Amino acid sequence: MMKEKTRIAVLVSGGGTNLQALIDAQNSGIIHSGEISLVISNNQNAYALTRARNAGIKALYISKKESKAQEAFETAIIEALEENDIDLIVLAGFMSILSERFTSRYDHRILNIHPSLIPSFCGQGYYGLKVHEAALEKGVKVTGATVHFVNEIPDGGEIIAQKAVEVEDGDTPEILQRRVMEQAEWIILPQAVERIADQISNAN
Ligand code: GAR
């Protein structure tokens, strides 16, 4: 009998280049044990939503109006995940921290891509360009990206994959961000998603 594919949801907030890397990896067969079944954005204007719809993937905007609405926000996400029978959640540039109530419900079922070599430049306050600004400020000569499981500690869960990237003279945060994406994030995220999707589909 054919194994059932792991149903994947990708949570996004912005441009969605990592989402695009996942879509491309699905089209090229790098991801074949899972299928991207749902995209959720907490930002209505995220270009990631357009990328999802262009690829024919169901895409939802779920708003988080104020910080005290965290519980309602997460409840709405959980409902969408359940309605769509999601097995694996991928945070791909998702700029909202999830509570322990959420992360413990999906133990070892949430992956995140972070644009540094954890434990450097990670945790609360380190996201997007800020990570690369901090790396340049420190003067490190090597940085990179990390895929890890998500638990209640921001960027603190078990590491799945890492890839190093050289810092070059004259780098700006934007130039470094782009190099880390091209040489690390867009490669290791699809590989890690395939590996975990395969493990889940074998266990089901
Ligand atoms: C990526 O560099 C991702 O690693 C980072 O935000 C960017 C999103 O770009 N994520 C974090 O900083 C999470 N703490 P994208 O929307 O084009 O994928």
Nearest atom in ligand 1 to the alpha carbon of residue 93 is 8
Which domains, ranges and CATH numbers included, belong to the chain?
A: 6-203 (3.40.50.170)
Q: What is the pLDDT along the chain (204 residues), one digit of tens a residue?
A: 668 999 999 999 999 999 999 999 999 999 999 999 999 999 999 999 999 999 999 999 999 876 568 999 999 999 999 999 999 999 999 999 999 999 999 999 999 999 999 999 999 999 999 999 999 999 999 999 999 999 999 999 999 999 999 999 999 999 999 999 999 999 999 999 999 999 999 998
What are residue 179's DSSP bridge partners? none
Residue 138 phi/psi, 5-degree rounding, is -75, -25
pTM for the full model?
0.97
> Using an 8 Å Cβ cutoff, are 14 and 46 in contact?
yes
Contacts (Cβ under 8 Å, ≥6 apart) of 99: 70, 71, 74, 152
Catalytic residue among 32, 114, 132, 148, which? 114
Residue of 39, 113, 120 to mutate, ligand 1, most atoms within 8 A of C-beta: 113
Ligand 1 and 92: CB distance under 6 A: yes
Active site residue 132: no
